[in-house]
Structure 1
């Protein structure tokens, strides 16, 4: 039974840590990009709060780096670049709660 749990955990983690090929439409808003690329894992906290950010991640550069490079549990979205990346980061900043 332990093997089954290990296999399931590995499958879940491998799916979350991989790169995603999503490329937003050129004219997509930050909210549209967030809805398409992020809400599979990041469910809005409330009607007005998309995410909760730590103080160290509550800046545009950190947010862009995070979604472009990913992490152990988060896939990289390398195709969100340029103005699309800026719009997504601005949307996340404007619609998130910051924990100091």
Structure 2
């Protein structure tokens, strides 16, 4: 069974500008792929989110991309976040989104 890739927008400035749905998604995912795990740790700590993080940034190798796709193919749910805002806008997330496929659950 294939897992889900969740594209989760994070606050641009104020950490309190995050939706309850985003917090729930981050808590329930099996892994969080973050552009900068040191930066995202601040947000995750504020909301007591203990989900394991993996780094995924513009210098990530094709091997790292393949590892994330393998997690999805093995049924793991992956939440993708950027340093600020929506992943895929001026960051490396487009590679993972494109590779994971275009199906978007309702």
More helix by share: 1
- Greater radius of gyration (CA): 1
Task: Provide TM-score, normalisation by structure 1.
Answer: 0.28
Task: Provide TM-score, normalisation by structure 2.
Answer: 0.27
More strand by share: 2
